[in-house]
Amino acid sequence: MTSAVPAFATRKLVKTYGEGHTAVHALRGVDLEIPKGEIAVLLGPSGSGKSTLLNILGGLDRASGGEALFLGSDLCLMSDRELTRYRRDHVGFVFQFYNLMPSLTARENVELVTEIASDPMSPDEALELVGLRERAHHFPSQLSGGEQQRVAIARAVAKRPTVLFCDEPTGALDSKTGQSVLQVISDINVKAGATVLIVTHAAATGAMADRVIHFADGAIREITVNDERRKASEIHW
Amino acid sequence: MAPFDRKLFRDLWRMKGQTAAIAAVIAVGVLLLVMMSGLMNSLEETKRAYFERYRLADIFVSLTRAPERTVQRIAELPGVALAEARIIGSALVDIEGEDLPIRAQAVSLPQFGGQKLNVVHLASGRMPDRTRPEEILLLTAFANAHGLKPGDGFSATMNGARHRFTIAGLAGSPEFLYTTAPGEMIPDDSRFAVLWLNHDAMAAAFDMKGAFNEVVVGLSRGASAKSVMAAADRILDRFGGRGAYGVEEQASNRFVSEEIKQLRRTGTMVPPIFLAVAAFLLYIVILRMVQAEREEIGLVKAFGYTDLETGWHYFKFVLIVAIVGALSGCLLGILAGRAMVGVYLQYFKFPFLVFKVDPASFAIGMATSIAAASAGSLFVLRKVFALTPATAMRPPSPTDFSRLAIMPAWMRRWLDQPARMVVRRMLREPVRMAGAVVGVAAGMALSVSMLLVFNGFDRTVDVSFNVMDRSDLTVTFTHPQGMKVLHELASIEGVLEAEPVRIVSVEFRNGLSAYRSAVFGITPSPRLNRVLDTSLARIELPENGVVLGKGLARILGISPGDSIVLDVKEGARPVLEMPVTGVAETLMGSPAYMDMEALNRAIGEPRRVSAAYLRVDSAQTNRIYARLKELPGVAGVSVKANAQAAFQRQMDEGAGAVRYVMALIAGIITFGIVYNTARIGYSERARDLAGLRVIGFTRAETAFVLLGELAIVILVALPAGALAGTYLNRLMVAGFSNDLYQVPQVHTPESYGVAAVAVIAAALVSGWLVKREMDRADLVAVLKTRD
């Protein structure tokens, strides 16, 4: 296994906001490897640096030092244009507040991505994956929170992303809806082979992952590797 | 400081760019209000004080010649407080180094005692010594223009004889507040002089011993000017009286009154436009603020703040912007007014003119700014009242676009997702879209109408000086001359063409409207000074009938086919009734035209000319000027190029200069509206746009979603603004036109083009500024905030 190039590898990754006395050290030298095809859950209290790491790996933010390699290429060395390209071709995002375009229907929100991706699935196929095919022509205002999040997931996976980033994907949802959303994410990992990174407060989510990374004070405190992944429906929080 | 107030000031600071822009718009509106009402106030007050102190006469009558005792009869008329006889005449001043003879008006000082009416005020020097006929007073402005001072001398030709004068003092008088050479409209200090001579010197020069040729009358309080004028006309009729006219027709008084009227008109028309724009912008800013702060609003309400307390907080924001704007407007208005006073002093020769602010204008400016600003925001405050803490603190549900699900098939085929976002958002909020379109169209309309006014001014100059008048010089005579003078002029070496004109002063009457002006008798096929219709085609002058200038037709409310009464004030002084056969394009003054011989026959003075137009060889002008100086009977020579330059100067520096200020303001408003539209569009959708960037849209693709909307707003607003501008221009040219000149309504395509380019440029710059902001936005931070 170690011979294969990991999806992500970081070395002495540092992120500092501000300078001097007011400097905040969000990441204090993170070393990490996430193999391809895994589900990794990043756990930790607020401000522990997990979202910062996700943003850097997702090409939304830049590190202050160290390396962040995606399939061997250093994201820290990429230009703005290359980062856009990276997000466009490889990355799917799911956010706590869905961030759907209110003026587009569910299907059109997915099409927003399939129109610019190089090898997308059909929008209907993506909606099928999240079980929302029959609601394709509804606008976000006509969908429940869980449904909106599933559309967001469909939008994220429709481009067949290499990696799927989920920042508190169940944060705004009740537990039952949250379970179904996590199940969808898990299914996509299995069916599409996408590497999945989930940032969450909910420790129980770790049970569905291959690897659980515990964050505290901008550094990794512990990494646990699960021998067996639980189904989302078995998770409670 | 209460925490709420601290928040208020931080909000103001955070939005300083936008709030400063709005305060500036308010300030400009108030500035114009304060400046114009102050100028109006100052001119009116100064005029009143000046006319009263130096006793401008109420009635003027000029005549051919009457024995001195006649004035006693006028003084005894009921209602007459004072009557003063005097001698006036024209003179040609010869200043060393000036090729051209300069026209002057000579006025006699009383034989005994001081002046009772139209009193002169000395600026320097002293009154002429009665025993020294060569001593005179000279108009201060003319003296300054030529660097003359008391003690200097010059010669002048009066009634064909050359005299040498010494300047005793420099002076002004209320009747020469605004001085133009006879037949010219625009003052040119260096080209027209007034000389006050001792009575005996005047009488000797003009052969008026024991006689006078003008009487000025001061009325007693409550007297009827009309009956005094009628009585005076009866007495002076047999002495060649040219008809009495009241102070309201006196040239200086008329020009200053016209200026005051125009200030009043612009002062009431223009500031409201600015205040309306400010109200619109404030409305949008406050709306946006309340939407962004719904959580905070809910929170403070949950703490127990009342609706009124919460609403008051946002209202204070509006009040501060309005008050800061209005206060700076008042201050700037005073400064601008003081600066404008200097401009006015160049044209109106008041001995003093102090800019006095009209205190009411402060109050009005303040009150209307606050009212306008509040009007827009009160609508928004209703939303603050309506928010309950519970709804406010829940994240807002996505805006409902479901009603717009039906999109025609062709639209679906042609529009990709970003384009659909643009279209749906516009359809979703048609009112806001319309607001943006109206705003940008208003800016476009202002720009278009101002540019059309510019072109109107240019056309006035071009048509008057190049198309209608193709002469180089105009020679006016002291008295009507026989035709042979024309041959004399034509025989001067270097004169290429000479064309006669007969100018007769007339009171035009149509029912109750009357207007004193002049009829120009024109030769049958004029080449140098032509009568043209509004499409600039030549008008044939009829054997019987009169063609009115556009301005005169408007004043009298007459159109072709009507008949008009001409009360001729010269020659046999007939009262003629004749048909109006046409309306001519006249952009300066308010003249009328007749066939020259028909006019001469009507007044019983056949084959007489008052002036001649000359076309000359420009290489020989000096010789021509020298010859003209020697020619007897010449009252003056005016050079068209000088008159054109003076007109252009007046347009650029005087009242006409306001148009530059207004054009600048139109530009600023247009940019302000366009920029705000783009800016607000961005802040409303920062999150959506950041979302697109995260998904992998490039900056350009994301900018399309934002700026596509702006582009559509601009595309709709351009034609709408062009149309509105055309109508606005109609109002503006009416506002800019007066007795002095008419600004025609022109529709030059390039004006529309330039305005459109300006709006598009404003849009491009705004788009660029907003896009820059979007590019700099922290994607993560934007996405984490709940909208």
Q: What is the CATH number of the domain that holds A198?
A: 3.40.50.300
Indicate the pLDDT class of residue B390, thresholds 50, 70 and 90.
Answer: low
Which residue range(s) make up the domain with B291?
1-54+254-397
Of B190, B223, B253, the residue that ends a domain is: B253
User: Does A60 lie at the interface with B, CB-CB under 8 angstroms?
Assistant: yes
B112-128 confidence digits (pLDDT tens): 888 999 999 999 999 99
Q: CA nearest A7: which of A154, A186, A193, A159?
A: A193
Q: Phi/psi of residue B543, each to 5°?
A: -65, -45
For an interface test with A, which of B403, B412, B417, B704 has the most A Cβ atoms less than 10 Å from its Cβ? B417
Tokens 């199940």 locate to A183
Q: Do B697 and A116 touch (CB under 8 A)?
A: yes
Region B5-34: mean pLDDT is 82
B362 pLDDT higher than 60: yes
Average pLDDT of span B536-540: 87
* Residue B103, domain member (yes or no): yes
Indicate the residue of A95, A138, A155 with minimum beta-carbon distance to B783. A95
User: In this predicted structure, which of B72-81, B154-163, B279-288, B327-336 has the lowest mean pLDDT?
Assistant: B279-288
Instruction: Assess A137–B contact: CB distance below 8 Å, yes or no.
Output: yes
A116-130, B546-560, B636-650: which has the minimum mean pLDDT?
Answer: B636-650
Chain B residue with minimal CA distance to A139?
B402
Which chain A residue has its CA at the smallest distance from B780's CA? A60
The pLDDT of B519-530, averaged and rounded, is: 90
Q: How confident is the model at residue B657 (pLDDT cuts 50, 70, 90)?
A: low
Minimal-distance CA residue of chain B relative to A101: B688
- Minimal CA separation from A111 to chain B, in Å: 7
**Side-chain half-sphere exposure of B395, counting CA atoms within 13 A:** 14
More confident residue, B460 or B2: B460
Q: Number of Cβ pairs closer than 8 Å across A and B?
A: 99
Q: Is residue B367 part of a domain?
A: yes
Is residue B417, in this structure, part of any structural domain at all? no
The mean pLDDT of B426-438, rounded to a whole number, is 80
Q: Which of A101, A148, A159, A166 would best serve as a mutation to test chain B binding (most B beta carbons within 10 A)? A: A101
Task: Select from B425, B694, B701 the Cβ nearest to the Cβ of A103.
Answer: B425
How many domains would you assign to chain A? 1
Cβ pair B397, A141 in contact under 8 A:
yes
Task: Examine residue A131 and state whether it is found in any structural domain, yes or no.
Answer: yes
State how far residue B773 is from chain A, nearest Cα, in angstroms.
Answer: 16
Going from the C-alpha of B144 to that of each of B114, B119, B123, B717, the distances in angstroms are 26, 21, 11, 52
**Rg, Å, chain B Cα set:** 34
Subunit contact A112:B425, Cβ cutoff 8 A: no
Smallest CA–CA distance, residue A199 to chain B, in Å, is: 14
Could you write out the three-class secondary structure of B148-161? CCCCCEEEEEECCE
Could you report the per-residue pLDDT of B222-244, keeping only the tens digit for each?
999 999 999 999 999 889 888 89
Inform me whether the C-beta atom of residue A144 falls under 8 Å from chain B C-beta atoms: no
With CB atoms and an 8 Å threshold, state whether B399 touches A141. Answer: yes
Between chains, do A60 and B691 touch, taking CB under 8 Å as contact?
Answer: no
Distance between CA atoms of B532 and B547, rounded to whole angstroms?
10
B375 and B437 share one domain: no
* Position with higher pLDDT, B581 vs B663: B581
- B185 within domain boundaries: yes
Residue in B closest to A145 by C-alpha: B397
Find, among B61, B435, B458, the residue nearest to B284 by Cα: B435
Same-domain pairing of B703 and B675 = yes
Residue B393 has pLDDT above 60, yes or no: no
Task: Give the residue on B whose Cα is nearest the Cα of A96.
Answer: B784
Number of domains in chain B: 4
Q: Could you tell me if A202 and A146 are in contact, meaning their C-beta atoms sit under 8 angstroms apart?
A: no
Of A97, A115, A117, the CB nearest to B416: A115
CA-nearest residue to A157 within chain B is B695
ipTM, interface predicted TM-score of the complex: 0.72
Contact between B506 and B568 (Cβ < 8 Å): yes
Most A CBs within 10 Å, among B407, B695, B779, to test the A interface: B695
Mean pLDDT of B365-371: 88
HSE-up of B572 (CA within 13 Å, CB side)? 11
User: For residue B52, what are the contacts with CB-CB under 8 A and spacing of at least 6?
Assistant: none
Q: Which of B218, B253, B288 is the last residue of a domain?
A: B253
B783·A140 Cβ contact <8 A: no
pLDDT of residue B186 exceeding 80, the answer is: no
Binned at pLDDT 50, 70 and 90, residue B655 comes out as low
Q: Which of A51, A83, A88, A103 to mutate to test the interface with B (most CBs of B within 10 A)?
A: A103
A124 touches chain B (CB under 8 A): no
Give the lowest-confidence range in A22-26, A49-53, B308-312, B387-391. B387-391
Q: Are strands B513-522 and B102-108 parallel, antiparallel or unpaired?
A: unpaired
Q: Which of B399, B695, B780 sits opposite A113 (nearest CB)?
A: B695
Three-state DSSP string of B355-366: CCCCHHHHHHHH
Shortest distance, CA B379 to any CA of chain A (angstroms): 25
Portion of chain B with pLDDT greater than 90, in percent: 31
Look up the pTM and report it: 0.69
Q: Which among A48, A105, A15, A132 is positioned nearest to B400, based on CA atoms?
A: A105
In a domain, A220, yes or no: yes
* Parts of chain A with a pLDDT under 70: 1-3
Answer whether residue B484 is part of any domain.
no
Using the predicted structure, report yes or no on whether residue B571 has a pLDDT greater than 90.
no
Q: Is A148's Cβ below 8 Å from some Cβ in B?
A: yes
Q: Which of A85, A117, A139 sits opposite B402 (nearest CB)?
A: A139
Q: Which residues in A lie closer than 8 A to residue B697 (C-beta atoms)?
A: 84, 88, 116
Q: What is the pLDDT of chain B when averaged over all its residues?
A: 85
Mark whether B176 and B197 lie in a shared domain: yes
Q: Which of B415, B83, B371 is nearest to B218 (CA)?
A: B83
Asked whether residue B440 falls in the same domain as residue B378, the answer is no
Q: Are B174 and B56 in contact (CB under 8 A)?
A: yes
3 state DSSP class of A145: helix
Asked if residue A69 belongs to a domain, the reply is no
Q: Which of B401, B416, B425 sits opposite A139 (nearest CB)?
A: B401
Do both B278 and B289 map to the same domain?
yes
Please tell me the least confidently modeled range out of B49-58, B139-148, B386-395: B386-395
CB contact under 8 A, A87 and B425: no
Is B424 part of any domain? no
* Nearest of A24, A7, A171 to residue A86 by alpha carbon: A7
With respect to residue A201, please indicate whether it lies within any of the assigned structural domains.
yes
What's the pLDDT score for residue B570? 79
Q: B703: which chain A residues are within 8 Å (Cβ-Cβ)?
A: none
Angle among Cα B748, B749, B751 to the nearest 5 degrees reads 70
With contacts defined as CB-CB under 8 Å, which chain A residues touch B416?
115
Decide if pLDDT at B296 tops 80. no
CB atoms B688 and A102 under 8 Å: yes
Instruction: State the smallest CA–CA distance between residue B694 and chain A in angstroms.
Output: 7
Chain B residues in contact with A101 by the CB 8 A cut-off are 417, 421, 688, 691-692
Report the residue of chain B nearest A137, measured CA to CA: B405
Interface contact A95, partner B, CB < 8 A = yes
Q: Which of A100, A116, A138 sits opposite B696 (nearest CB)?
A: A116
B79-88, B602-611, B734-743: which range is least confident on average? B734-743
Regarding whether B736 and B783 lie in a shared domain, the answer is yes
Q: Is residue A21 part of a domain?
A: no
Residues B234, B94 share a domain: yes
Question: B667 with B726, same domain?
Answer: yes
Q: Which of residues 168-187 of A touch B (CB under 8 A)?
A: 172
Tell me the range of B10-19, B209-218, B733-742 where mean pLDDT is highest: B209-218
Domain that holds residue A175: 35-61+80-234
The nearest alpha carbon in chain A to B783 belongs to A99
A2 within domain boundaries: no
Instruction: Inform me whether the C-beta atom of residue A88 falls under 8 Å from chain B C-beta atoms.
Output: yes
Q: Residue B668: pLDDT above 60?
A: yes
Whether B786 sits inside 8 A of A85 (CB atoms) is no
Does A29 reside within a domain? no
Minimum-distance CB partner of A55 among B402, B696, B780: B780
pLDDT at B787 over 70: no
Nearest to A103 among B395, B428, B780 (CB): B428
* Residues B22, B93 within the same domain: no
pLDDT in tens, B130-182: 999 999 999 999 999 999 999 999 999 888 888 999 999 999 999 998 887 76
In a domain, B236, yes or no: yes
**In a shared domain, residues B654 and B533:** no
Q: What pLDDT is stored for residue B178 in this prediction?
A: 86
Please give the Cα distance from A68 to B187 (Å, whole number). 80
Task: Assess whether B100 and B175 both reside in one domain.
Answer: yes
